Structures are given as structure tokens and as C-alpha cells.
Amino acid sequence: MDSLRFNSLVIHAGQAPEATSGAVMPPIFQTSTYAQEAPGVHQGHEYARVTNPTRSALEALLAGLENGTDAMAFASGCAAMDALLKILRPGDEVLSVNDLYGGTFRLMTKVFEPYGIRFRFLDLTDLDALKAALTERTRMVWIETPTNPLLNIVDIAAVTTICRAHSPRVITVVDNTFASPYLQRPLDLGAHAVVHSTTKYLGGHSDVVGGAVITSDPELIEHVRFQVKTTGAVPGPMDCYLVLRGIKTLSVRMERACRNAADLAEWLNNHPDVKSVNWPGFPGHRGHEIAKRQMTDFGAMVSFTLKQDDVPSAHRFMSATRVFTLAESLGGVESLISHPVSMTHASIPREQRLQAGLGDSLIRLSVGIEDVDDLRADLQRAFDSLR
Ligand SMILES: *Cc1c(COP(=O)(O)O)cnc(C)c1O
């Protein structure tokens, strides 16, 4: 199966018909424990916090997609990140992007910082800034790309090369939620570990919350497996099944969503009521050349500011759409629209976010797989509501 191409791997990686019945899809093993023939003699499963066959099937698939040796599934993306971050010890330093996902920022600064771990947030598109920030205490570099909601692109290969040259102690992690393995595979670009919120593109249907860590690094595998067994933030078998089922159509969903997003980005870019559009597919985008190199397409996330660049106009715009649903989250089959300034990024002071390029009217689209003509008409209806 390893020789299969990505579009086949999403269906077949780590998946074999179930042994006792020949079921083509992995059954939902709704059990907490497993019978043993004699003490310590069993068929590979002892207790469901540690392993569950439905979860194992999902993990094998995720490992295949990210080209890692091992994957560990979690009850949420945050639980996956928490397990990985627990490798840190007091005195360690972590470097990360300055427009990090809000939940990750909160986890780092509110949960881990009080234990004496230092987090610094910088512009990782600036490789000189990265080199200057690395110290002998740096234990981890945490990358997000594309970033949320400005869609900046970090050069994964360049960052991991710099970190590996700096010290073998530095663990490079990529949160690959925004891209999905369909668009980019960070382990192939030198990262030690990938984390996912499978809630987003991998699940793909906005019907499940989940997370995962994927890696080929023996130390990280041992650490994360120990966390799974010991702290137990594991997903139930039904949730694993939903993510598995969602992943089967990852390629076809991404293909359509990226095409829709490209269409809408071009249209918005030429729209008289739009001030600016963030989408890495534009040749003028700061990270365009890197995106072309490290991604297979430019993704289905688009953000833009209105010519009437104020909060009330953004609110009016978002109340007028009918196909785009006003909601947080992303990566589902349905298109979502959100206003980061009053939703996900409300806690950032105005001056600070303006400096980062996060304007008052910034609107973020998670473009789904509907008919693009309906999506365009829906956005035009919202523009009309501003008059
Ligand atoms: C949603 C998200 C998370 C958190 O995942 P949950 O499944 O909501 O816990 C982490 N990183 C990114 C980039 C996300 O979009």
C-alpha cells in the first residue's frame, strides 16, 4: 500500500477488511475492555484507553497520509497539542508564529507558561528573526502555515533546516490543520511532528471533534504513546469512525474546495467593494513562491477586507449571506464565514492586530464544496446589503 499515490492512500492506507467478518469499513468497536485467554495473553488489545481497533485503523490511515511511522489520535486538536507539549520541562523555550491559532496560544500561555516554560511569538516568515531567537534553551519550534486568518506562509523546509543545524534538541512541530496532508506533508519537509485538529478538513463534515499527532521520531512516539495511556484524552470509537469516513473523500473535497476558493479569490480581488484579499495563490502574495513549492494547491481559506473598512460593515455583510453560514471553525463541506475581530481574535488589542494586518472589516471564508456560482451570488448579495 505504501507505493500508492495520495488520492488512493486516503482510501486504502492502513485499511484492510476486518479479520472476523470481512467488513470493508472498520467496525465501531464499542468496548472498554478485551477478553484475555490467560493473564497477559490477548490479541493485541487490553483496555480501550490504551488501544481500540477503530482508533488503530484511523491512526494507521493518518500515519500513511502524513508519511509518518506512527499516529496517535486524540479527543480534540487541543488534547493532541497538550500531549505533545508535555515533553517540555521548566526552563525550556518554545518559539512560535505570532499569528497562532487562539486555542494554541491560550494552551501555551495559560497552561504551560505557569510551569516555567517560556513561549516567544515571532514572525517565522523572517528567517533571520528565527536565527536570532534560537538559544541553547530552545526545545521546540511550533509552526502554523498557512496562518489564520491572514494566510501567511512559513517556509517549513527552511525553518526545519535552520533548527536542525542549531541543535538536535530542537523539536520542530507543524500544526497542519489549515492545509491538511492533501496540500502539504511537513514530515517530508523535515519536521519532527505534525499535529492536527481532525475536526476540520480531515473530518470534513463539521460533525466530530478530534485531533492527532503524527511522527516518525522514536522519542516523540514513546512520549506521546505514554501520554495517551497515562492521561487518556482519547477519542471514542464512533468519533474515530466519523473521521475515518470523512478522510475517504479528502482528496475530492479538497480539489473542489480549492477550485472554488481560487474562483472566489480572483472575483473578490476585482470587486469594487473590496479593499484587499489574502490568498497565497496570488503571484503578488508574500508567500506565493514558497506556497507553490511546499503545497500542492493554495487551499480553500480566503480572507479579505471591505472598502468600507469598519466593524459595522463587516457585521452587516455577514448577516446578509444565506449559503455561507456565520460560524467559527473551518474545513467542512459547507462554506463558513466569520469575523475574526469579533469572534476568534476578539481578545487581541486593536492597535496590535492592526499592526499585524488584521483590519476591522477582515472577513474570513472557509470555502466549501457547493456550486461556486451560488457562493459568488451569495457574497454579491452581502455586498448589495452594504448600500
Ligand atoms: C481548530 C484548530 C485547533 C484546535 O483543535 P480542536 O479540535 O478544536 O481542539 C488547533 N489548530 C488549528 C489551526 C485549528 O484550526
Tens of pLDDT, residue by residue over 139-161, are 999 999 999 999 999 999 999 99
Q: What is the spatial distance between Cα 368 and Cα 187, in angstroms, rounded to a whole number? A: 27
Residue 294 predicted with pLDDT over 60? yes
211 lines ligand 1 (CB under 6 A): yes
Give the pLDDT confidence score for residue 353 in this predicted structure.
85
Q: Which of 70, 82, 175, 239 is catalytic?
A: 175
Q: Which of 55, 118, 185, 200 is catalytic?
A: 200
Task: Report CA-CA distances (Å) from 65 to 1, 18, 38, 62.
Answer: 11, 20, 37, 5
Q: What is the spatial distance between Cα 335 and Cα 109, in angstroms, rounded to a whole number? A: 31
Average pLDDT over residues 311-340: 96
Q: Can you give the pTM of this predicted structure?
A: 0.96
Strand blocks (E) in the chain: 70-74, 93-97, 118-122, 138-144, 171-175, 193-197, 211-215, 274-278, 301-306, 325-326, 336-338, 363-366
Residue 308 predicted with pLDDT over 90? yes
Each residue of 31-84: pLDDT tens digit?
999 999 999 999 999 999 999 999 999 999 999 999 999 999 999 999 999 999
Ligand 1, closest atom to CA 81? 10
Q: 113: pLDDT confidence band, cut at 50, 70 and 90?
A: very high
Residue 1 predicted with pLDDT over 60? no
Average pLDDT over residues 84-105: 94
Cα 78 to ligand 1 centre (Å) = 6
Residue 253: active-site member: no
Each residue of 185-216: pLDDT tens digit?
999 999 999 999 999 999 999 999 999 999 99
Ligand 1, closest atom to CA 331? 15
For the chain, give the mean pLDDT. 96
303 lines ligand 1 (CB under 6 A): no
- Identify the residue with better confidence: 326 or 353: 326
Give the pLDDT confidence score for residue 349 in this predicted structure.
82
Q: How many residues does the chain have?
A: 387
Residue 256: active-site member: no
Cα 103 to ligand 1 centre (Å) = 7
Residue 200: active-site member: yes
Cα 11 to ligand 1 centre (Å) = 24
Ligand 1, closest atom to CA 79? 9
By C-alpha distance, which of 226, 257, 203, 258 is closest to 61?
A: 203
239 lines ligand 1 (CB under 6 A): no
Q: What is the spatial distance between Cα 34 and Cα 229, in angstroms, rounded to a whole number? A: 16
Name 342's Cβ contacts closer than 8 Å, sequence gap at least 6. Answer: 311, 314, 315
Q: Which of 101, 182, 201, 241 is catalytic?
A: 101
Each residue of 346-380: pLDDT tens digit?
877 888 888 888 999 999 999 999 999 999 999 99
Give the pLDDT confidence score for residue 99 in this predicted structure.
85
Average pLDDT over residues 116-123: 96
Cα 197 to ligand 1 centre (Å) = 5
Give the pLDDT confidence score for residue 2 in this predicted structure.
58
54 lines ligand 1 (CB under 6 A): no
Average pLDDT over residues 275-298: 97
